[in-house]
Structure 1
Amino acid sequence: MTKDATYNEEDKTVKMFLKGRPVILYAPTDLAENYDITKVSTAPSRRLKLDWVYGYRGRDCRSNLYFLPTGEMVYFVAAVVVLYNVEEQSQRHYVEHTDDVKSLAIHPNKMLVATGQCAGHDRRDARPHIRVWNSVSLHTQAVIGMNDFDVSICCLSFSKADGGSLLLAIDEASDHIISVWDWQKGENGYKITETKCSVDTIVAAEFHPLDRNIIVTCGKSHIAFWSLDVGGTLYKRMGIFETRDKPKYVTCVAFLQTGETITGDSNGNLAVWGRGTNTIWKFIKNVHEGPVFTICVLKDGSVLTGGGKDGRIVEFTSNLAMTGTISVIEGHFGGIRVISEGRGSQLLVGTTRNCILNGTSHLGFQPIILGHTDELWGLAAHPSIPQFATAGYDKVLQLWDSMSHSILWSKDIGEQAQSVAFSLDGTSILVGCISGRWMIFDTQTRELLGQHVDGNEPIQIIQFSPDGTMVALGSRDNQIYIYQVSEDGSKYSRVGRCTGHSSYITHVDWATDNQTLRRNAGTCRQIPQSSIMRNVEWATNTCTLTFMTVGIWPENADGTDINACDRSHDSELMVTGDDFGKVKLYSYPVIQPKSLCHTYGGHSSHVTSVNFLYDDTRMISIGGKDTGVLQWTVS
């Protein structure tokens, strides 16, 4: 698209095409005189460095939280694998994946990690594959199956009895293909075998820790015991439930120190399968109300189970005598997704509401990671201190501190949120909801100060005028609602409505005169940006389609590829978030169709919003469905 852009010397306009439609953009007079459309603008000297990742993926992934000998715990969210040292309050990040990470396995040497990802929005850029990497150096040792997987790698396991030479993977395709790899052969590993596993969902797959070449898989109403013969063929025996009711799901699998397989099911029961057999040797009923999502066998042989619904951890001795129940997890953290051994006697608990807790059965558990649990669109930076707010479809508004990397507060607002903004003095937060309702909260007390309803479509953007006396709300109903803000910022009175837009409003900027507005809409029809507007000075640049942002549009763009942009407060940088999981940093203004930039991964397909913090030292990006909140330092 931008390669077809042309400059009209007479009108001082750039004409470009989005989805075949012409878009005319007027050059400001001071830039128009020496403007050369063929010039290539250089990337900025400043760069972004991933500083902190907020969140964890527990809502739909399993076995993805471990403690490493480095003193760090390892887990993932979006396309980033996080190594987090709680005591030192430091994070390192493995960022070689190109889309959502879905599975993780630790090698028996406790140093190597395997992670598997899903296919991306664009299959050419993000194919499902496995990466084996060193947790100390973060160096990639092998990239496996770049053309072998179809949907995503939902289960991974290193072989244990032979010291980890094999790696097993399950592709989340309709037949749930199971494959076994000699991962150290060549740079891309060697596939020993693959076969159809089951048309039903598979939730866990593990190599047996003591018996070579034995694999156990389980999932919807089944458990299977596999043996890999010398020739590389996999043989399957289904587990036999005999007289017992077959559960809807066998939800998790682990191994006792004596070699028996132990499974949990969706009815809250445990089954112990005789070593070398496919029959149940011991059955323990009603350990949990609802499903058993995780079984953790500790170093001393004792066993812990975690409930996905009741939020309880139940303790057993090594011969499965129940020793006690600890009711740990408060409801708002979610059910227990995974338990693993941490430092000393500490346990790590990952939950279904994307939290990680740390603690012991005696002292209780403290949250160390909190996140969002549903699609995330609302992001706003505080106007004068290093804080920011996020709000999403999980109906939760959260206030974060970027210096301590902590959540200051979290509030359930009862409605799915689409947008968020701080008042000019930072004392209140406005949240725009999907229903057309928008609410005003006190930043300190979290108290609801007021609410209004405009239309019945999502409030997509909220933007205060530079002097803070007015606020514009852009709706999906193609209208912009203008409110006057009272002296103390607690009362809002509607003073006008901008109508006549041909499509829904996605971005709004105020001019520095507090009088003029510009907006971008969802379809790329021409903005009636007459020449009178060419020299208006804009207080912000969040509109993606302006003369100053010509160069952020890639070739063949359809006009919705770039979801968000933000200009730094010193007007030297521009950051964008796009549909391909990329965050890009440009020199501002981005007026050349050929503009070079720095490109950063970490999110999966849609980056929904980007925002510089008040002093431009940091930048926040959020992912839509990946629920990730990434903090970058500008260096």
Structure 2
Amino acid sequence: MEEKTFKLTFLNDVTRDMQYNEEENTVRMYLRGRLAVLYVPTPLMESYDLHKVSTPPQNKLKLDWVYGYRGRDCRSNLHLLPTGEIVYFVAAVVVLYNMEEHNQRHYLGHTDDIKCIAIHPNKLVVATGQVCGTDRRDAMPHIRIWNSVSLTTLCVIGNGEFDGSICCLSFSKADGGSYLCAIDETSDHNISIWDWQKGERGTKVTETKCSVDTVVCAEWHPLERNQIVSCGKGHVSFWSLDNGGMLYKRMGIFESREKPRYVTCVAFNQSGDVLTGDSNGNIIVWGRGTNTISKIVRNIHEGSIFSICVLKDGFIVTGGGKDGKILYFDESLNLTGEEAQIEDHFGGIRTVAEGRGSQLLIGTTRNCILVGDVGMGFNPAMLGHAEEVWGLAAHPILPQFATAGHDRLLQMWDSLSHTVVWSKDIGEQAQSIGFSPDGNVMVVGCTSGKWLAIDSETRELYTHHSDGSEPIQVVRFSPDGTLLALGSRDNYIYIYQVNEDAVKYSRVGRCMGHSSFITHLDWSIDGQYLRSNSGDYELLYWNPGICRQIPQPSMMKDMEWASHSCIISFETIGIWPEGADGTDVNNCTRSSDSKLLATGDDFGKVKLFSYPACQPKSLCHTYGGHSSHVTNVSFLQDDTRLISTGGSDTSVLQWIVNY
């Protein structure tokens, strides 16, 4: 018996052999010590060679549209540029969105979550700071300074010099923007000043401890050279940078007045006084050049003031995080009587920025961007998910797709108009979605073991069932729509007979045999068979009509599958990187024409392979944009676009195929 071997090195430094058994026509592959025996299809038996390298596809991807915004935990991250674009970020992408022309451009220099942004006084240069990523080699915390017109990177600051994520950035203003101030999220929240135009990587002028407590904001004074104000938990600090490059701090003195739990935002009026908002709903005015209070306007909001915006005409706007109110003040902080109320489902107000004319830009705590004014009201310019996104399904007929997440939102998107068709709160944390073959019904699997059948157009709830108490990880209709398979985290696959236009469901039984939770399912083209992967890297086959496992996997080697989402199969050998531990690749999807295979992994990468990727060395194209886990990928119905979802980054990215 002749065996050809191919070396793969695994994370625990154990070198396993990937073996091809010519007598049995099987490839033996190990994932975290677990053996998977994969049968070579008959047409490939004569020519299959483990050592052959599979070439990458001619097709490539280009980021087309980003759905989402990071407002839940970031501030001051929404700005209007002279180009007419609003600039903001989500995941590892900076979005430049022209609302009038409804198009987006993207800055893609970052390798992990962006946490802060600053605009240079010239309104042309932008600085963005990122977190410390999961992979310290590729995603060290750093600052990128770039041109907002050409999207070229001008300078990369601090690679290897920051210990924590960059949480605050500000360009100096009174000197024309020579310096950049940064704060990183270490235990001491270090504040550093950079001469960003000096050398290829900028030059650090000074660095010192800022505060042991959380810092949420740091801003250069617009009129006073070398003055910075920072604030956060229980403090406001006034900094001076002397000619020798030393930073000196004076703490804001609250005297006998009630000290707020958090000082949440900083702004400057046209006289140069400092305005701070706090968790008590107060605005405090600090006299220019002092660290003492000159005026307090109390309890203007219920809860925290997350944003103060001083308009060009000197009037002042505040946004409430809890009460969702936008209030207008004159230059002396007298209420003008103008106010607006943001609808609860959009979330609280995280940031307020001046837009075109009388318009305001509002970023919310539920990751929405609203645009409008008091007279016309505020309408969403961008809707997103507010928590982890796991559910994704492409509509089988229309150029649309659905997403669902732990925020209980089920959303239908149109890929051509880049808009939300509808959004529904289903009252349950969602984990998975599947469309019926005609696209009329969608089944949503929830984290509680419950699942819902919903009309994809009217949003009417037809029925709901519960199977176990663990999340429904995957939902798949058979190609003819007569059966429904639901893979659960309780290790079972539940099979239902589908009656009356996918409105009624009767349980056939459950497939038992996996020793870990179900991760992926595919139906055969004739709907007679099912294959499944589990959390311990098993590949099993089933007769779903009687809920029985097929004990001879060799019988299935030439089966044609209606979809390809199973990440452990002969056709996906090449998607596993050298040193893979089994958890690296989260999902895969095959194009309708069976020429492309896309994957999403744990490192924020979307990869595009030629299908099948059955060689251990399968070359691919790799794309960043997400941070950490890419939870799902799916080609749209005509293969012109690919959709990917990020888990904790809450974003949905749309890619053009064959750009």
Q: Following TM superposition, by how much is the alpha carbon of 1:319 offset from its aligned partner in structure 2, in angstroms? A: 2.2
Task: State the distance in 1 between where 2:231 and 2:427 align.
Answer: 37
Aligned residue in 1 for 2:599: 576
Task: State the distance in 1 between where 2:413 and 2:222 align.
Answer: 42
Number of aligned residue pairs: 635
Q: Following TM superposition, by how much is the alpha carbon of 1:524 offset from its aligned partner in structure 2, in angstroms? A: 2.3
**In structure 2, the residue corresponding to 1:30 is in which secondary structure?**
helix
Describe how 1:84-123 pairs up with structure 2 within 5 A: 84-123=97-136
Describe how 1:182-331 pairs up with structure 2 within 5 A: 182-331=195-344
Q: Following TM superposition, by how much is the alpha carbon of 1:20 offset from its aligned partner in structure 2, in angstroms? A: 2.4
Q: 1:525 to 1:507 in 2, by over 3 A?
A: closer
Describe how 1:216-615 pairs up with structure 2 within 5 A: 216-525=229-538, 527=540, 530-615=553-638
Aligned residue in 1 for 2:655: 632
Q: Following TM superposition, by how much is the alpha carbon of 1:475 offset from its aligned partner in structure 2, in angstroms? A: 0.3
Task: State the distance in 2 between where 1:150 and 1:463 align.
Answer: 45
Q: Which moved more, 1:173-182 or 1:622-631?
A: 173-182
Task: State the distance in 2 between where 1:291 and 1:529 align.
Answer: 63
Aligned residue in 1 for 2:546: none
Aligned residue in 2 for 1:29: 42
Task: State the distance in 2 between where 1:2 and 1:499 align.
Answer: 32
Note the residue ranges of structure 1 that are not aligned, 5 or more in a row.
Answer: none
Amino acid at match of 2:296: F
Task: State the distance in 1 between where 2:472 and 2:230 align.
Answer: 46
What whole-Å deviation, never above 9, does each CA across 1:489-530 have from its counterpart, x for those lacking one?
100111121002111000001111211111000012565662
Q: Report if the CA contact (8 A) 2:396-2:439 is conserved.
A: yes
Q: Following TM superposition, by how much is the alpha carbon of 1:487 offset from its aligned partner in structure 2, in angstroms? A: 3.2
Aligned residue in 1 for 2:57: 44
CA RMSD in angstroms comes to 1.0
Task: State the distance in 2 between where 1:94 and 1:493 align.
Answer: 49
Match of 1:166 among 175, 179, 195: 179
Q: Report if the CA contact (8 A) 1:574-1:587 is conserved.
A: yes
**In structure 1, the residue corresponding to 2:496 is in which secondary structure?**
strand
Q: Report if the CA contact (8 A) 1:2-1:553 is conserved.
A: no
Task: State the distance in 2 between where 1:192 and 1:132 align.
Answer: 17
Q: Following TM superposition, by how much is the alpha carbon of 1:22 offset from its aligned partner in structure 2, in angstroms? A: 2.3
Q: Report if the CA contact (8 A) 1:2-1:551 is conserved.
A: no
Q: Report if the CA contact (8 A) 1:2-1:16 is conserved.
A: no
Q: Report if the CA contact (8 A) 1:26-1:529 is conserved.
A: no
Q: TM-score, length-normalised on structure 1?
A: 0.99
Alignment identity in percent?
A: 68
What whole-Å deviation, never above 9, does each CA across 1:120-144 have from its counterpart, x for those lacking one?
1111111110000000000000000
Q: Report if the CA contact (8 A) 2:514-2:538 is conserved.
A: no
Q: Following TM superposition, by how much is the alpha carbon of 1:257 offset from its aligned partner in structure 2, in angstroms? A: 0.9
Aligned residue in 1 for 2:544: none
Task: State the distance in 2 between where 1:46 and 1:137 align.
Answer: 25
Match of 1:58 among 59, 71, 86: 71
Q: Following TM superposition, by how much is the alpha carbon of 1:6 offset from its aligned partner in structure 2, in angstroms? A: 2.2
What whole-Å deviation, never above 9, does each CA across 1:576-635 have from its counterpart, x for those lacking one?
000000000001010111111000000000000000000000110000000000000112
Amino acid at match of 2:582: G
Task: State the distance in 2 between where 1:526 and 1:338 align.
Answer: 48
**In structure 1, the residue corresponding to 2:118 is in which secondary structure?**
strand
Q: Report if the CA contact (8 A) 2:340-2:377 is conserved.
A: no
Q: 1:86 to 1:529 in 2, by over 3 A?
A: farther
Q: Following TM superposition, by how much is the alpha carbon of 1:10 offset from its aligned partner in structure 2, in angstroms? A: 1.0
Task: State the distance in 2 between where 1:288 and 1:104 align.
Answer: 26
Amino acid at match of 1:426: G
Task: State the distance in 1 between where 2:34 and 2:183 align.
Answer: 45
Q: Report if the CA contact (8 A) 1:22-1:526 is conserved.
A: no
Q: Which moved more, 1:183-192 or 1:93-102?
A: 183-192
Task: State the distance in 1 between where 2:475 and 2:338 align.
Answer: 48
| 1:73 aligns to 2:96 (yes or no) | no
Match of 1:131 among 119, 132, 144: 144
Task: State the distance in 2 between where 1:343 and 1:120 align.
Answer: 36
**In structure 2, the residue corresponding to 1:535 is in which secondary structure?**
coil
What whole-Å deviation, never above 9, does each CA across 1:453-499 have from its counterpart, x for those lacking one?
00000000001111111110000000000001113110011112100
Amino acid at match of 1:179: S
Amino acid at match of 1:497: R
**In structure 2, the residue corresponding to 1:52 is in which secondary structure?**
strand
**In structure 1, the residue corresponding to 2:557 is in which secondary structure?**
helix
Q: 1:529 to 1:267 in 2, by over 3 A?
A: farther
What whole-Å deviation, never above 9, does each CA across 1:206-257 have from its counterpart, x for those lacking one?
0111111111000001000011111111111000011210000001000011
Task: State the distance in 2 between where 1:325 and 1:25 align.
Answer: 68
**In structure 2, the residue corresponding to 1:531 is in which secondary structure?**
helix
Q: Report if the CA contact (8 A) 1:416-1:433 is conserved.
A: yes
What whole-Å deviation, never above 9, does each CA across 1:326-348 have from its counterpart, x for those lacking one?
12311111111111111122111
Q: Report if the CA contact (8 A) 2:34-2:536 is conserved.
A: no
Amino acid at match of 1:563: N
Q: Report if the CA contact (8 A) 2:525-2:561 is conserved.
A: yes
Amino acid at match of 1:482: I
Aligned residue in 1 for 2:12: none
Q: TM-score, length-normalised on structure 2?
A: 0.95
Amino acid at match of 1:125: D
Task: State the distance in 2 between where 1:14 and 1:186 align.
Answer: 53
Task: State the distance in 1 between where 2:294 and 2:524 align.
Answer: 74
Aligned residue in 2 for 1:621: 644
Q: Report if the CA contact (8 A) 2:254-2:292 is conserved.
A: yes
**In structure 1, the residue corresponding to 2:603 is in which secondary structure?**
coil
